[in-house]
């Protein structure tokens, strides 16, 4: 039992000691691979160097970290991280396995329960084993990089190893980055060369270039000064040239703001509202407008659009030839619009432009897919507009619409001959009958819905009926009744419907029938015990099976053998023929009898048929009697044979298949 005196420690197993000694002696590497934990079956384990496995291991997984203790180089530390979704067991023992799969170190620990998340709590638990070896030089302190769980200390140590040391924090204009994206060093260059710039002057180069330019300017000074003198002479050598020019500019004329101010007469004037219509032409007649522009008109203006009172006209004249222009008029108020033109002096009438105000496309006749012959008044007609026309879309047809609704195609003698069809109530001639031709529908039992052929369909849930009617009150109905039975009935049958028998409601398969002719009719086989094919007569085989014989045991079965026998009803508890099984065979027999005979001349005579003859004087004659049959002297001489039978007729016994 674990208490304050319990000891917990880790040791190398005998295998581990041998492998450590071998690695040290031969200089070969020794690698640790897995760590395992167990619950020791609930006991308090003590590590034993002879162990080769844990007492009750319940988890084994790769080692997450292997390292030496910085304070003691001979102390090996191995770690494993158990994730939160693994557990539900106690941890009392720990084992370390090398790459060969051998248990090389074993340890015990204070019992610790590793819960599961499903238990309401979860934790990631670190299992660590520390053990001392004499030499760690050959121990490989590496782990599988595929192991994804690690302790925080392991991550911190790994980062400290990976990141370069002795870096001064700060802001750098130039840095060096290694292949892992880590900044190795930083610098702040102060020269162009430090940044690798080659297309700029350095300070010494700039100073030299400036000095060279100044020298060139000084060398060219005489010519430049001569040019300046000539310019000064042209301006009068005014020492106050700037003031003189300012005063001169102050006395310049004001800039015009109108077309008239600049004397422009061939442009349209901008009014307060932008481009506005001018007043009514002086002639008050739109026919005499000659210049392009906007003009107004009113109720007294001549040749304005009919139906308009006030409005605006856009007049567009063409330079060549004369007498060619176009006018567009818009009425004020109802926004009706018209246009007209003049071609070589020939004036055209005003034409009103259609808009939503005077035209509703919904009221117009829709374009048909064929050229119609129309009955009606055309545009604006109300209902009952009939159109007939020839259409070439798809197959050529003569089509009909009423009020733009497609009614259908006209049938002609080329695609419809009334003589080929039966009309409602039509009486066919003698010997004629309707006939429906269609593709094959497969077996009737396989039809699940509508099928090709002649169909009689009832209305709603009513019966589907075909009627046969003779003149008078004689009629018969044949059809499928509401109880899904095929029946026959009608006027002349007293209102009684008779169900038509078929294999669905009267299956005779397996029935024995006697026929007064030598060959079995269709649907029957001789009941003679013959073995027949199971696949050829599946219904019969399903009905009688191997009751009368299994045939060859796999592909055939035996028919019952009724040749030369009488039929007797199964007793079924009546006790006249007790103990009989169905289809069992029974031999013939005679009922036991007792006979009394008249006395003979010497006393009496006893007859024992089949044993001896008559005897007299009270004795038994043991000689066999082979004379005639015994008669009662009243009913005649009996017929004697090898069996007892009634009067009968021989028929052919057959079985229905």
Residues 400 and 522 in one domain: no
The string of DSSP letters for 307-331 reads T--SEEEEEEE-SSSSS-EEEEEEE
Identify whether 125 is part of a domain: yes
b/e sequence 196-216, b meaning 16+ C-beta within 10 Å? eeeeeeeeeeeeeeeeeeeee
With a pLDDT cut of 70, the percent of the chain lying above it is 75
Does a structural domain hold residue 29? yes
Convert the pLDDT of each residue in 395-426 to its tens digit.
677 888 887 788 888 777 777 777 777 777 77
CB 144 within 8 A of CB 116: no
Instruction: Kindly report the pTM of this predicted structure.
Output: 0.33
137 and 17 inside one domain = yes
Query: Of 480, 501, 522, which residue sits at a domain end?
Result: 501
d(CA 157, CA 163): 10
- For the chain, what is the domain count? 5
**Which range among 46-50, 158-162, 237-241, 280-284 has the greatest average pLDDT?**
46-50
The verdict on residue 243 lying in a domain is no
φ/ψ region of 573 (left if φ > 0, alpha if ψ in -120 to 50, else beta) reads left
- pLDDT for 603: 44
Name the residue among 357, 353, 356, 402 with its Cα closest to residue 375. 402
List C-alpha distances in Å: 136 to 14, 33, 69: 17, 16, 11
Assess whether 14 and 142 both reside in one domain: yes
Residue 467 within a domain: yes
Are residues 397 and 533 both part of a single domain?
Answer: no
Average pLDDT over residues 357-377: 67
Judged against a pLDDT cut of 70, whether residue 618 lies above it is answered with no
pLDDT band at 559 (very low <50, low <70, confident <90, very high): very high
For residue 18, which phi and psi values (nearest 5 degrees)? -65, -40
**Residue 640 domain-assigned (yes or no):** no
Quick check: 77 and 141 in contact, CB under 8 A? Answer: no
The CA–CA distances, whole Å, from 427 to 430, 437, 498 equal 9, 21, 28
Rg of the chain over all Cα atoms, to the nearest angstrom? 65
Classify residue 129 as exposed, middle or buried by CB count within 10 Å of its CB (0-12, 13-18, 19+): buried
Strand partners, 253: none
Query: Does 621 fall in a domain?
Result: no
- Considering 129, 162, 195, which residue would you say is the last residue of a domain? 162
Domain that holds residue 380: 362-409
Residues 6+ apart with CB under 8 A from 403: 383, 384, 385
174-188, 238-252, 255-269: segment of lowest average pLDDT = 255-269
- By the 10 Å C-beta count (0-12 exposed, 13-18 middle, 19+ buried), 536 is classed as exposed
> How far apart (Å, rounded) are the C-alpha atoms in residues 155 and 105?
25
- 345 CB-side CA count, 13 A: 2
Q: Is the pLDDT assigned to residue 538 strictly greater than 90?
A: yes
Average pLDDT over residues 205-219: 76
Q: Cβ distance 178 to 184 under 8 Å?
A: yes
Handedness of CA 188, 189, 190, 195 (dihedral sign): negative
Give the bridge partners for 317, in sequence order.
325
Quote the CA–CA distance of 105 and 94 in Å, as a whole number: 8
The pLDDT of residue 612: 42
Which of 284-298, 340-354, 490-504 shows the lowest mean pLDDT across its residues?
490-504
Whether residue 495 is found in the same domain as residue 569: no
Same domain, 371 and 469: no
pLDDT grade, residue 295 (50/70/90)? confident
Measured CA to CA, the distance from residue 98 to residue 516 in angstroms comes to 98
Give the mean model confidence (pLDDT) for residues 133-147.
Answer: 62
Q: d(Cα 563, Cα 526) in Å, to the nearest integer? A: 9
Residues 493 and 511 in one domain: no
CA gap 462, 483 in Å, rounded: 10
Which of 129-143, 221-235, 299-313, 435-449 is least confident? Answer: 435-449
Enclosing H/E stretch for 32: strand 30-38
Candidates 49, 104, 57; CA nearest to 76 is 104
Last-in-domain residue among 393, 409, 425: 409
pLDDT for residue 437 is more than 60? no
- Inside any domain, residue 322: yes
Centroid of chain to Cα 503:
44
* Best-predicted range by mean pLDDT (156-170, 301-315, 409-423, 472-486): 301-315
Query: Do residues 501 and 488 lie in contact, with contact meaning Cβ atoms separated by under 8 Å?
Result: no
- The alpha helices in 12-143, defined as continuous H runs, are 14-26
- 167 lies in a domain? no
* 538 and 495 in a common domain: no
Mean pLDDT of 623-646: 75
More confident residue, 101 or 170: 101
Q: Is the pLDDT of residue 42 over 80?
A: yes
Q: Specify whether the backbone of 44 is left (phi greater than 0), alpha (psi in -120 to 50) or beta.
A: beta
Same domain? 569 vs 651: yes
Sheet with 386-391, edge to edge strand ranges: 371-375, 386-391, 397-402, 405-409
Q: List, in order, residues 6 or more apart from 58 with CB less than 8 Å away.
A: 37, 38, 39, 89
Residue 617 burial by Cβ neighbours in a 10 Å radius (0-12, 13-18, 19+): exposed
Cβ(295)–Cβ(278) below 8 Å? yes
Q: Which residue has the tokens 């197959």?
A: 395
Which residue did the predictor score with more confidence, 105 or 499?
A: 105
Instruction: Tell which wins on pLDDT, 337 or 213.
Output: 337
DSSP string, 255-289: PP-STGGGT--SSPPPBTTBS--BPPPTTSBGGG-
Q: 381 and 345: one domain?
A: no
Q: Is there a single domain that holds both residue 511 and residue 538?
A: yes
The CA–CA distances, whole Å, from 442 to 72, 403, 432, 447, 504 equal 92, 47, 28, 7, 20
How large is the average pLDDT for residues 424-442?
A: 62
Q: Count Cβ neighbours within 10 Å for each residue of 14-34 and write b for 16 or more, e otherwise.
A: ebbbebbeebbeeeeebbbbb
Residue 553 · residue 534 · CB < 8 Å: no
In this structure, the answer to whether residues 656 and 527 fall within a common structural domain is yes
Contact by Cβ (8 Å): 499, 483: no
């Amino acid at each position: 039992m674990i208490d304050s005196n319990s000891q917990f420690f880790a040791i190398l197993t005998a295998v581990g000691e041998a492998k450590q000694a071998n690695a040290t002696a031969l200089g070969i590497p020794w690698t640790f691979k897995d760590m395992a934990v167990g619950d020791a079956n609930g006991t308090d384990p003590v590590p034993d160097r002879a162990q080769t496995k844990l007492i009750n291991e319940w988890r084994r997984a790769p080692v997450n970290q292997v390292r030496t203790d910085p304070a003691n180089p001979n102390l090996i530390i191995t770690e494993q991280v158990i994730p939160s979704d693994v557990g539900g067991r106690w941890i009392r023992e720990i084992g370390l396995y090398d790459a060969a799969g051998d248990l090389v170190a074993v340890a015990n620990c204070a019992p610790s329960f590793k819960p599961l998340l499903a238990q309401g709590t979860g934790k990631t638990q670190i299992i660590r084993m520390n053990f001392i070896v004499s030499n760690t030089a050959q121990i490989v302190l590496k782990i599988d990089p595929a192991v994804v769980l690690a302790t925080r200390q392991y991550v911190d140590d790994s980062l400290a190893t990976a990141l370069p040391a002795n870096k001064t924090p700060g802001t750098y204009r130039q840095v060096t980055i290694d292949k892992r994206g880590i900044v190795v060093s930083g610098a702040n260059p102060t020269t162009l060369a430090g940044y690798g710039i080659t297309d700029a002057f350095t300070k010494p180069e700039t100073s030299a270039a400036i000095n060279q330019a100044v020298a060139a300017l000084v060398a060219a000074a005489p010519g430049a000064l001569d040019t300046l003198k000539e310019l000064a002479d042209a301006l009068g050598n005014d020492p106050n040239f700037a003031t003189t020019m300012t005063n001169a500019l102050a006395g310049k004329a004001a800039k015009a703001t109108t077309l008239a101010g600049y004397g422009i007469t061939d442009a349209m004037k901008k009014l307060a509202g932008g481009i506005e219509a001018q007043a009514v032409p002086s002639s008050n007649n739109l026919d005499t407008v000659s210049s392009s522009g906007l003009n107004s008109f009113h109720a007294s203006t001549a040749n304005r659009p009919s139906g308009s009172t006030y409005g605006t006209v856009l007049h567009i004249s063409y330079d060549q030839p004369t007498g060619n222009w176009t006018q567009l008029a818009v009425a004020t108020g109802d926004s009706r619009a018209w246009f007209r033109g003049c071609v070589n002096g020939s004036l055209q009438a005003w034409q009103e432009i259609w808009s939503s105000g005077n035209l509703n496309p919904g009221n117009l006749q829709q374009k048909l897919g064929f050229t119609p012959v129309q009955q009606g008044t055309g545009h604006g007609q109300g209902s009952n507009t009939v159109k007939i026309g020839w259409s070439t879309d798809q197959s050529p047809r003569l089509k009909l619409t009423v009020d733009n609704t497609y009614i259908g195609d006209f049938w002609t003698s080329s695609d419809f001959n009334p003589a080929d069809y039966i009309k409602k109530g039509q009486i066919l001639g003698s010997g004629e009958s309707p006939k429906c031709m269609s593709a094959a529908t497969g077996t009737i039992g396989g039809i699940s819905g509508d099928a090709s052929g002649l169909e009689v369909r009832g209305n709603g849930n009513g019966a589907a009926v075909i009627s046969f009617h003779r003149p008078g009150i004689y009629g018969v109905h044949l059809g499928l009744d509401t109880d899904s039975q095929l029946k026959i009935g009608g006027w002349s049958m007293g209102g009684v419907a008779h169900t038509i028998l078929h294999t669905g409601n009267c299956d005779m398969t397996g029935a024995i029938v006697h026929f007064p002719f030598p060959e079995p009719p269709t649907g029957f086989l001789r009941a003679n015990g013959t073995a027949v094919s199971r696949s050829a007569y599946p219904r019969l085989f399903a009905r009688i099976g191997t009751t009368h014989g299994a045939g060859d045991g796999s592909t055939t079965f035996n028919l019952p053998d009724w040749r030369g026998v009488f039929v007797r009803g199964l007793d079924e508890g009546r006790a006249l023929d007790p103990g009989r099984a169905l289809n069992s065979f029974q031999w013939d027999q005679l009922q036991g009898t007792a006979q009394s005979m008249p006395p003979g001349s010497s006393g009496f005579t006893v007859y024992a048929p089949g044993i001896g003859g008559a005897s007299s004087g009270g004795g038994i004659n043991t000689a066999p009697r082979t004379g005639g049959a015994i008669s009662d002297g009243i009913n005649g001489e009996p017929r004697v044979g090898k069996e007892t039978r009634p009067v009968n007729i021989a028929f052919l016994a057959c079985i229905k298949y």
